[in-house]
Amino acid sequence: MMNFDYEKLKTVGRTSAKALSYAQSAISPDKKLSDIAADIEKYIEEQGFSQSFPVNLSIDNEAAHYTPTFNDQRTVGKDSVIKIDLGARKDTYLTDCAATVCVGSGDNRLYEASAKALNNAISLVRSGRKVNEIGREIEKTAVSYGFKPIRNLGGHGIGEHELHADIFIPNFDNGDNTALAEGSVIAIEPFLTTGIGQVIEGDHLQIFQAISDRMPRSLEAREAFSIINSEFSTYPFAMRWLIKSMGGAEFRARKAVAELLQIGDLEPFPVLVEKTGGIVAQAEKTLIVTKDSCEIVT
């Protein structure tokens, strides 16, 4: 990766790791998800960094992409499994990490299995390692605990400006013999479940990303378009961020986003839920692939 500043990436990674630790300590029963997300995002910003993407706080059968709504009243359940997925960004460098918190009698074995699967997968990483071999190890660990990996989610490459870059790292042996390259940056991301191991899109939609620059027609859409370009660029953003930047005008912001989606300016990221309602746990770290091993960044 020519001219890639690994030291800057590591600085970003350290902040992401600290933010994840802070986030885990912020989870408690009956606390509003909106307050938790705001606290985490404020923590990252106070360290002098931006967000790679909106904080995800996905509960129980939700695997990913739940971020609170504007004035969200949803709270942490007394017995729940919460996935915290977050990342810090500095200039064009960004990282990604996640952990699971089991509240009350939430399934701790599922959490333990996801953490173990991540550690076992990391132990295999080196230049030349095939991605299906990593997936095989994740699935082996999941099955040893009596769970299944989610087959249509997985890890990914990370590049400058890009949270999900060229390579996909499966959570099972999918037959892909693509080899990891020395110097590449990847995120390994086991998702394990008590269900059948497949996610589908749910109804909750609060995360978007600009993918085009077609000029919208309405005034509110033009205002939103300008804010998105100046404040979020091409990085994922939350609807609540946009509403706040539009002075709290929730109806206008939602109308603007609907128009931007219709003309193809935005890509939506709906919440992903386990197809059979199975509980989901997640663990994730960002790594630099080295000749004989890897360096953990987050």
Taking alpha carbons only, the member of 211, 222, 214 closest to residue 255 is: 222
Residues belonging to the active site: 85, 96, 156, 164, 189, 284
Q: Are 279 and 107 in contact (CB under 8 A)?
A: yes
The set of residues, in sequence order, having a beta carbon less than 8 Å from that of 230 and lying 6+ positions away, is none
CATH number for 6-201+272-296: choose from 3.40.50.11540, 3.40.50.720, 3.40.50.300, 3.90.230.10. 3.90.230.10
State phi, psi for 33 to the nearest 5 degrees: -65, -35
pLDDT tens per residue, range 186-231: 999 999 999 999 999 999 999 999 999 999 999 999 999 999 999 9
CA–CA gap between residue 155 and residue 171 (Å, rounded): 8
Can you name the residues that pair with 148 across neighbouring β-strands?
193
| Average pLDDT value for the chain | 96
Give the pair of three-digit tokens for residue 34: 């909106």
pLDDT tens per residue, range 1-28: 558 899 999 999 999 999 999 999 999 9
pLDDT of residue 5: 95
pLDDT of residue 1: 59
Range scoring the smallest mean pLDDT among 19-23, 54-58, 158-162, 229-233: 158-162
Q: State mean pLDDT over 227-251.
A: 97
Q: Are 210 and 265 in contact (CB under 8 A)?
A: yes
Angle (CA) 108-114-119 rounded to 5° is 125
The model's confidence at residue 271, banded by pLDDT at 50, 70 and 90, is very high
pLDDT of residue 2: 57
Can you name the residues that pair with 272 across neighbouring β-strands?
64, 201
pLDDT tens per residue, range 132-159: 999 999 999 999 999 999 999 999 999 9
Q: State mean pLDDT over 44-56.
A: 97
Domain boundaries, the chain: 6-201+272-296, 212-264
pLDDT tens per residue, range 86-113: 999 999 999 999 999 999 887 789 999 9
pLDDT of residue 105: 81
- The full 3-state SS of 91-104, as one line of letters, equals CCEECCEEEEEEEC
